[in-house]
Structure 1
Amino acid sequence: MSNLAKFRQLCWADRFLLLEATLWLAIARLGLRLMPFRHIAPKLGEVGLESAANVPGKIAKEAERISWAVRALSHRTPWESACLAQAISAKAMLRRRHIPTTLYLGLAKDQSQQMEAHAWLRCGSEIITGKANHERFSVISCFAEQSLEKNLAENEEITSVNYHTHAHLQELLLATLNPAPQKATVGQLAQLDETEWQALIHLAQQQHIETYFLARLEALNGHTAVPTQLLSQLKQRQQQITLQNLAIYRELNLLNRAMQPANIPVVLLKGAFLATAVYPHIGQRAMGDLDLLITQEHIPKMIEILHHRGWQETRPLALEATFEHHHHLPSFAKKNLNFQIEPHWHIILPNRPYSIPSESIWQDVMLYTIAGTDLFAFQPHLQLLHLALHASYNHQFAFDLRSLCDIALVIDHYGDDLSWEKVVENAINWKWQRGVYLTLALINSFWNTAVPPEILHQLKPEQMPDSLMALAKSHLLRGREENKKVSKNFSQLKSNNTTIAKAKFALSFFFPTRKRLAWRYGTPHNNKKIWLYYFVNFYDVIRRNSKRAWLLLRGKNEITKTAERRSLLAGWLGQTE
């Protein structure tokens, strides 16, 4: 029987499903041919996350139908529809139906000892595409949507976890992360059923601490209570992060060797330092990118070295405008590497009430050796201050618990070598007092052990609303994926400013200065045709913000609350004592 005859025998629902699969296979194939994978990867979900191990029967049946459609068409398209194109197509089709999936990328050696790549897609416990021999491939990366919040709030059928259980699991997650473990925590973990374990691990993933959470479970001997499949996923994720971090450090070593003849001093920032210096195991601290600090005078040479090593800016760069409006370059990406490099010349945005000269931070660096390479890192007190600055002033606690875990581990790791006197002195002199206090107070409210009470007393601002701690805690626990829906600038539309002030603020984004436009689009500010970019900018502002603005104007509860929280935090932090 011909393919056309078989098609005619199908019901209309199956016919439309096959047509949809054909369309997505074509889009996936075209995208893979025309774009580098680093541009496609962000559209596949968040790297390192995994979807639920179990889904209801109704969802499993829908996933099975889509699996059939994609696999049936993949052998019949005029173009090659290989494993990656199949996985991307099926993922797109399931995403349209709000069904969470995980796309895996793996490597293995064939019979001739050559490296072979494979991609497969999982929904629940079933492999949707690429199932054949997928077990022999070692997972190097995975992509999934951050969907726990939506599942908890909108789809109890999937998670079977109500609001009160969700709040209880948040408290249990915090208790497990406590540097001073409590015996009661072990008993609470032992009482969880598989659905609750699944939700708890999702919470850890949402906060980007799933492998550190695994380490704390092992320290408590609570990992024995984790369902086997979920425990296996956690360990697999730890292996992925370990391999990823080793690749990052390998590139760091090569890059540092290239910079040594030019005498460029390099300070490791955040995760690049913490993963080996503070965390007990390299796989416990994931790194999305490699953050490096160098002096501003060395930035042009740094760019030249990065280009020579195959790294390219992820967006156009106008150096003069970037120096004026930012504190780091655009991220640099390299073919076949799924991390980026972000060179900094400062740790603070310019022209802020809490800005300081960059020379101030270079006075408190120390030598740090990794993999036989000599680099620099911040001294313990500056390490803590920088992490608090990043969590509070730079992001208004819109990231996740990992930022607080970093600081708690710094405090625990250095102990008496951490100069609290310098922490207090610099925080006050540099006008970082509010952000540092609020960050440390949050850590103490979560774990009640890390920060000496007298330090909090010395740092506490004179003017602090009673509700601010609860506000910051709520914002932090929402997680990065939810909070990034409302940027700091966008949240100003919910500030207490007058309508005229808000209108002026909004217009400044539609009609920025020439230099700001030059920074945004990487063109010289004295370019005679720069005015054309005002049309591009107008389109971009509308495209990025129209949906959230519409939701805000309609008074959608969650986005309104997120905007209000971020606006209040940014407003309070922006004031100085």
Structure 2
Amino acid sequence: MEKSSKAAATRSWFGQVEPMPGCSKCRPSITGEGVGTMNHAQIDEWLLNGLRASPGPAGGGGMTPLSEADWEELVQQSDRHRITPYLYHHLRTVHPDLPTPPDIVGKLRQGHLDNAARNLRLYGHLGKILQLLRDNGVPAIALKGAYLAEQVYAHRALRYLGDLDLLVRKDDLEKVDALLLGMGCRPTIPNRIVGPDNNEFVYEMPRRDLCVEIHWRILPPQFPFPIDTEGQWNRARPAVLAGVETLVFCPEDLLLHLCLHAGCTHGFEPGLRLFCDIREILRHHEADMDWGLVRRLIQEWGIGKSVYLTLKLAQELVGARVPGGFLEELRPGDFDERYVALAKDQVFARKVRTGQPLSMWPAVAQFWGATRLRDKVKLFWKGLFLPRESMARLYPVPADSWKMNFYYAVRLRDLLRTYGRDAWRWLRRDKDMQAVAQEGRDLTALKDWLMSSGPAAGSGEGVRAG
């Protein structure tokens, strides 16, 4: 396969780049059947009871017993949510009285051991990268999992690590690119160009099932929030990760980053892991979390809706300890409980998807959610004729080259390969594709609400600055 075709196979709808197949963010198809006729609500409730500090009002003994097939499904869902090590730890230390079959405990234990070995390898790679950047005078902030696993969770084996995420300054991107290429990392796109529609470059580690994501801001520019990246750098704290001195977000920035990551970037589809992260952050930083600063940043960035819905879900699902009165103060004036239901549908979705997940990229949900063929054609046209700068990131040709015209034909081929079959099924009013279209409409409504501004209840102006 030619380099351009190989890179093109990883592209999303509007030129945002999906990770290569080796990356943990690669997701399985847009459509698919459920996994059977089991009592999914009952299985999910067992899973949540295993994660909470208290197993619910009925207690472990009052819960409906699960069948053997249900227990197997619970283990599969635990793996899908990437919380198996954390669940195993909770069942052993917090809920030893929950009636869990020994063979299920054994499978969860094996998942815990496998993750411990995997994280040991990942921290070895992280240490090499952080040391390389440090030796070359490049400051970096370790984002999300790498810091959480080592500093926030009780043990680094309890938190599954996907990719290694680092925040660097935009002025250092060229140097970081050269350093990573020098150590054998392979970029997932041919041309790393900073544009008005991107916020990260992704590299594959050599001969490893691992990606390194280099960010220069925490959200893509498509999200209308004025995140103060320089302020995040100024508030960053020193920490030692993988034996190397580096920087991490202050607790307030970390909490807000995870809320935005869960609600906006992924549309709550990552499942329960991020809610467990939020609970652990609130537990670990219970004494030093500056809620006045949290309030001020929410107001300045206009992210009250995403933070409110994410914290509300974390509280309801896994028992995150949000300070009394904070959610009531933050509650948007136009909040509707249907947004909670839509978000929970994504958290616990069991569809097998073989393409781009709808919730990850708003444009895909918007395309399938459009009710008229004319609207779909307009969106397809917009996705086909990207700006030349965006095309240059996706294909091995400079933005000002005359050859770029030929790559629009390549892009048409790539889009048809990715979405053509599903589009044809939609035109034929396929039942599964009609369900996808409805999901697209629901997700678009949820995304639009999360990204809109609005007053908090009782204030008329939003969240008080503290």
TM (normalized to structure 1)?
Answer: 0.68
**Residue matched to 1:237:** 111
The amino acid across from 2:309 in the alignment is: L
**How far apart, in 2, do the equivalents of 1:226 and 1:181 lie?**
13
Matched, 1:282 2:156: yes
* CA distance 1:448–1:373, shift in 2 (3 Å): closer
Matched, 1:571 2:448: yes
For structure 1, list consecutive stretches of 5 or more residues without a partner in the other structure.
Answer: 1-34, 49-143
Q: Check the 8 A contact 2:369/2:437 in 1, yes or no.
A: no
3-state SS of 2:48 partner: helix
**Residue matched to 2:206:** 334
Task: Point out the more displaced range, 427-436 or 483-492.
Answer: 483-492
Any residues of structure 2 matched to 1:203-352 within 5 Å, and which? 203-222=77-96, 225-316=99-190, 318-320=191-193, 322-335=194-207, 337-352=208-223
Any residues of structure 2 matched to 1:344-423 within 5 Å, and which? 344-423=215-294
Any residues of structure 2 matched to 1:444-523 within 5 Å, and which? 444-478=315-349, 482=353, 484-486=356-358, 487-495=361-369, 501-523=375-397
Q: Check the 8 A contact 1:172/1:185 in 2, yes or no.
A: no
* Displacement after TM superposition at 1:513 (Å): 1.5
* Displacement after TM superposition at 1:221 (Å): 4.1
3-state SS of 2:246 partner: strand
* CA distance 1:551–1:399, shift in 2 (3 Å): farther
**How far apart, in 2, do the equivalents of 1:309 and 1:494 lie?**
41
Q: Check the 8 A contact 2:24/2:163 in 1, yes or no.
A: no
* Displacement after TM superposition at 1:355 (Å): 3.6
* Displacement after TM superposition at 1:449 (Å): 4.9
* CA distance 1:348–1:43, shift in 2 (3 Å): closer
Given candidates 408, 419, 435, the residue that maps to 2:306 is 435
* CA distance 1:355–1:525, shift in 2 (3 Å): farther
Extract structure 1 runs of 4+ deviating beyond 6 A. Answer: 41-44, 496-499
**How far apart, in 1, do the equivalents of 2:201 and 2:347 lie?**
27
Matched, 1:559 2:442: no
The CA RMSD measured in Å over matched residues stands at: 3.0
Given candidates 66, 84, 96, the residue that maps to 1:192 is 66
**Residue matched to 1:152:** 35
The amino acid across from 2:286 in the alignment is: G
3-state SS of 1:315 partner: coil
* Displacement after TM superposition at 1:204 (Å): 1.2
**How far apart, in 2, do the equivalents of 1:273 and 1:537 lie?**
38
**How far apart, in 2, do the equivalents of 1:396 and 1:371 lie?**
31
Task: Point out the more displaced range, 295-304 or 355-364.
Answer: 355-364
The amino acid across from 1:330 in the alignment is: V
* CA distance 1:451–1:284, shift in 2 (3 Å): same
Q: Check the 8 A contact 1:314/1:330 in 2, yes or no.
A: yes
Give the number of the structure with larger relative contact order, counting CA–CA contacts within 8 Å between residues 6 or more apart: 2
**How far apart, in 2, do the equivalents of 1:501 and 1:561 lie?**
15
* CA distance 1:305–1:384, shift in 2 (3 Å): same
* Displacement after TM superposition at 1:574 (Å): 2.5
Q: Check the 8 A contact 2:251/2:281 in 1, yes or no.
A: yes
TM (normalized to structure 2)?
Answer: 0.84
* Displacement after TM superposition at 1:529 (Å): 0.7
- Equivalenced residue count is 429
**How far apart, in 1, do the equivalents of 2:372 and 2:422 lie?**
21
Q: Check the 8 A contact 1:271/1:287 in 2, yes or no.
A: yes
Return the index of the structure with the highest Cα Rg. Answer: 1
Task: Point out the more displaced range, 185-194 or 533-542.
Answer: 185-194
* Displacement after TM superposition at 1:170 (Å): 0.9
* CA distance 1:547–1:499, shift in 2 (3 Å): closer
Identity of paired residues, percent? 26
**Residue matched to 1:71:** none
The amino acid across from 1:236 in the alignment is: Q
Q: Which one has the bigger strand percentage?
A: 1
**Residue matched to 1:94:** none
3-state SS of 1:324 partner: coil
**How far apart, in 1, do the equivalents of 2:233 and 2:330 lie?**
24
**How far apart, in 1, do the equivalents of 2:271 and 2:321 lie?**
18
The amino acid across from 1:406 in the alignment is: D
